[in-house]
């Protein structure tokens, strides 16, 4: 009964008069309420009237609302007043946070854009204030560093945790986005090119050796270490780091094949060697190095033929590929291939573009979620690569798939 009174008070309704017609009481509960309202009320079967309760409580110098507030241990705040107070607090915290960043040297327009970009704590909780205090500490440290500091070193100096500014941490993402806006750079979405460019604009060097990708016979040239490594190891799978890919490199417009598992890359090297067409292997979910490499190939007009395991992780890899190469093609990563390997009776048409293939696969896989790994298609995929060689005949390969 008192909980209903508390709710009425929060909603701005009367607490000293009115009938609680919706309150359903058992016989035992009516007996308990009757200790206050009297036996006559209990026998009447009538609902609780707040004016009756108020009259009995007045004998003890209490009001209904006063009793509830005493039991709850706090004054009841109407919902409307609470919402107004929270709105005002949120706006005040947001304005204080923007002002702090402006004092730290950021332009008002940049800070406004940063605040409107999303991905920040909800103002009014105090979390935005804490985040901005941490960001201003980063900016202050950068101001005194005069460039040339490494990201892990910067994080360790500030928090004794070298990973505080990583791309999967709120502080790292929020700071990188502010730096990108200040320098007129694209917003970093992950630990890739835009991420490194944002930090580089403030003289911060990002780790370039932890992220890597497996490659075979990539036709790249230029001044980068990756170009030299690929030239020096024809027919041999090699690991390329982000550091190796940082320099200038280029490639002719050609077909690039993409797989998920190193077993396929190694088998292709053993079976085909230098005759294998350019092959990139993500080795699981694609790293920043893999996505940077694919983005570079896409920008140079290369056609990327992608595949992965038929499972949820494989769909994630496909989504990653499409984020940097939206026109990527499907390499036996379609409903027809999956259905055939599963022995499903229903017939499907193979999808040529990766985006359409992923849509169809998600639908079929959702009905029968049984993974099919790339290694199961190993002989078929090696045959594809052998038939394609250095000048892939993709049409013939698709006809073979059918």
Does residue 82 fall inside a structural domain?
A: no
* Residues 231 and 338 reside in one and the same domain: yes
| 117 CB burial (10 A radius; 0-12, 13-18, 19+) | middle
* Residues 53 and 155 reside in one and the same domain: no
* Residues 218 and 157 reside in one and the same domain: no
Phi, psi of 237 (to 5 degrees): -65, 135
Does residue 377 contact residue 341 with C-beta atoms inside 8 Å? Answer: yes
* Residues 172 and 313 reside in one and the same domain: no
In order of 36, 49, 77, 80, the CA distances from 66 in angstroms are 16, 17, 13, 20
* Residues 190 and 279 reside in one and the same domain: no
Does residue 234 fall inside a structural domain?
A: yes
Q: Find the domain containing 44 and state its range.
A: 2-72
* Residues 219 and 339 reside in one and the same domain: yes
- The pLDDT tens digits along the chain (402 residues) read 899 999 999 999 999 999 998 888 899 999 999 998 988 888 888 999 999 999 999 999 999 999 999 999 999 999 998 899 989 999 999 999 999 999 999 999 999 999 998 889 999 999 999 999 999 999 999 988 776 899 999 999 998 899 999 989 999 999 999 999 999 999 887 777 788 899 999 999 998 898 999 999 999 999 999 999 999 999 999 999 999 998 889 999 999 999 999 999 999 999 999 999 999 999 999 998 999 999 999 999 999 999 999 999 999 999 999 999 999 999 999 999 999 999 998 888 878 899 999 999 999 999 989 999 999 999 999 999 999 874 434 334 334 433
Q: Which of 23, 46, 72 is the last residue of a domain?
A: 72
* Residues 243 and 309 reside in one and the same domain: yes
Separation CA 263–CA 233 (nearest Å): 18
* Residues 343 and 273 reside in one and the same domain: yes
Q: Give the 3-state DSSP-derived string for 113-180, with helices as H, strands as E and coil as C.
A: HHHHCCCCCCCCCCHHHHHHHHHHHHHHHHHHHCCCEEHHHHHHHHHCCCCCCCCCCHHHHHHHHHHH
Does residue 94 contact residue 115 with C-beta atoms inside 8 Å? Answer: yes
């Amino acid at each position: 009964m008192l909980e209903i009174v508390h709710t009425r008070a929060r909603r701005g309704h009367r607490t000293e008069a009115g009938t609680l017609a919706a309150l359903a009481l058992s016989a035992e509960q009516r007996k308990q309420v009757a200790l206050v309202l009297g036996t006559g009320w209990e026998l009447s079967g009538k609902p609780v009237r707040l004016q009756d309760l108020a009259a009995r409580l007045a004998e003890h110098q209490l009001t209904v609302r006063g009793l509830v507030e005493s039991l709850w241990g706090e004054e009841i705040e109407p919902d409307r007043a609470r919402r107004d107070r929270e709105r005002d607090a949120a706006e005040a915290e947001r304005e204080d946070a923007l002002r702090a960043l402006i004092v730290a040297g950021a332009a008002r327009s940049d800070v406004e854009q940063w605040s409107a970009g999303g991905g920040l704590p909800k103002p009014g909780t105090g979390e935005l204030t804490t985040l901005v205090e941490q960001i201003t500490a980063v900016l202050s440290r950068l101001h005194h560093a005069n460039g040339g500091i490494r990201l892990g070193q910067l994080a360790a100096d500030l928090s004794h945790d070298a990973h505080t500014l990583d791309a999967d941490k709120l502080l790292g993402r929020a700071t990188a986005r502010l730096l990108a806006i200040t320098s007129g750079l694209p917003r970093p979405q992950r630990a890739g090119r835009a991420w490194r460019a944002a930090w580089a604009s403030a003289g911060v060097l990002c780790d370039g050796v932890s992220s890597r990708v497996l490659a075979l016979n990539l036709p790249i040239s230029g001044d980068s270490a990756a170009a030299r490594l690929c030239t020096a190891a024809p027919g041999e799978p090699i690991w390329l780091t982000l550091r190796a890919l940082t320099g200038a490199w280029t490639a002719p417009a050609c077909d690039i094949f993409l797989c998920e598992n190193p077993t396929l890359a190694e088998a292709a090297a053993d079976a085909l060697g230098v005759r294998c067409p350019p092959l990139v292997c993500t080795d699981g979910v694609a790293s920043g190095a893999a996505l940077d490499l694919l983005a570079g190939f896409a920008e140079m007009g290369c056609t990327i033929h992608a595949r992965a395991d038929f499972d949820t992780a494989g769909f994630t890899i496909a989504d990653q590929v499409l984020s940097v190469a939206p026109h990527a093609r499907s390499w036996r990563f379609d409903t027809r291939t999956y259905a055939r390997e599963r022995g499903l009776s229903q017939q499907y048409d193979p999808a040529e573009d990766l985006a359409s293939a992923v849509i169809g696969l998600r639908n079929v896989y959702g009905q029968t979620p049984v993974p099919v790994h790339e290694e199961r298609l190993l002989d078929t995929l090696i045959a594809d690569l052998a038939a394609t060689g250095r000048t892939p005949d993709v049409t013939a390969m698709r006809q073979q798939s059918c």
